[in-house]
């Protein structure tokens, strides 16, 4: 179990990310990528998907039971999990003014590291800063996640977008020798959850 109070927490996350992704290599491009120790370690870690699947299903059932009314809709993106590194769920909150877009709270539970992440998503633009009107729901979702995944802790918002030099996955990130202001660098969120946002 990780401890966010530990001053080495940030470096331990970076070290863990490096244990899963070979340095200065690109998936689908560099020959031998799938033979690296790092790639094999990631595939081994992803086997936890099957072990944690029931806990995820139970978590979704709990959330659906708790938020059963016309205002809320819960989405389970389980079909994306095998190619990602996390389970993904969405709580869609309809607004009283039907002309306004619903608010979306996305929650991710990693199965390659004991981490979870919660963010809001408007027009598929993620924000790890939870607005005041969603704080109570955010806290409740956090409690539910910890109930079913007691070893998991939330990846701090400040670390979610920390860039990882020389690592890449699913088209995100590049070797250090590639100099570009266009290519998106891989982040800690990408390493433990997904190459994109939902």
Domain ranges of the chain: 9-192
Compute the mean pLDDT over every residue in the chain, rounded to the nearest whole number: 87
CB atoms within 10 A of CB 150: 11
DSSP, collapsed to helix, strand or coil, labels residue 102 as coil
- With cut-offs at 50, 70 and 90, classify the pLDDT of residue 94: confident
The CA distance from 110 to 49, in Å, is 9
Given a contact cutoff of 8 angstroms between Cβ atoms, the answer to whether 17 and 113 are in contact is: no
Q: If you count DSSP H runs as helices and E runs as strands, how many of each does the chain have, helices first?
A: 6, 10
For position 99, what pLDDT does the model report?
Answer: 73
pLDDT beyond 60 at 92: yes
pLDDT tens for each residue of 29-68: 778 888 999 999 999 999 999 899 999 999 999 999 999 7
CB atoms within 10 A of CB 118: 23
Mean pLDDT of 168-197: 78
Burial class (CB in 10 A: 0-12, 13-18, 19+), 37: exposed
List alpha helices for the chain, DSSP H: 9-20, 37-45, 48-66, 135-148, 157-160, 188-192
User: Among 22-31, 70-79, 95-104, 134-143, which range has the highest average pLDDT?
Assistant: 134-143
For position 35, what pLDDT does the model report?
Answer: 93
pTM (2 decimals)? 0.87
- For the chain, give the number of residues: 198
pLDDT beyond 90 at 174: no
């Amino acid at each position: 179990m990780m401890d966010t109070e530990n001053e080495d927490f940030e470096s331990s996350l970076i070290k863990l990310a490096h244990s899963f992704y070979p340095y200065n290599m690109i998936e689908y491009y560099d020959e031998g990528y799938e033979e690296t120790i790092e790639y094999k370690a990631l595939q081994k870690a992803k086997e936890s998907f099957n072990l944690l699947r029931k806990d995820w299903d139970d978590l979704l059932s709990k959330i659906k039971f708790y938020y059963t009314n016309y205002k809320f809709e819960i989405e389970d993106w389980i079909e994306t999990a095998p190619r990602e590194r996390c389970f993904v769920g969405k709580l869609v909150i309809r607004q009283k003014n039907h002309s306004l877009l619903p608010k979306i709270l996305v929650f991710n539970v990693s199965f390659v590291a004991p981490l979870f992440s919660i963010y809001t998503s408007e027009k598929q633009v993620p924000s790890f800063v939870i607005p005041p009107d969603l704080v109570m729901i955010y806290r409740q979702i956090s409690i539910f996640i910890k109930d079913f995944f007691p070893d998991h802790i939330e990846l701090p918002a400040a670390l979610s977008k920390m860039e990882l030099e020389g690592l890449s996955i699913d088209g995100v990130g590049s070797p250090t020798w590639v100099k570009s202001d266009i290519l998106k660098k891989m982040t800690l969120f990408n390493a433990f959850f997904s190459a994109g946002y939902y």
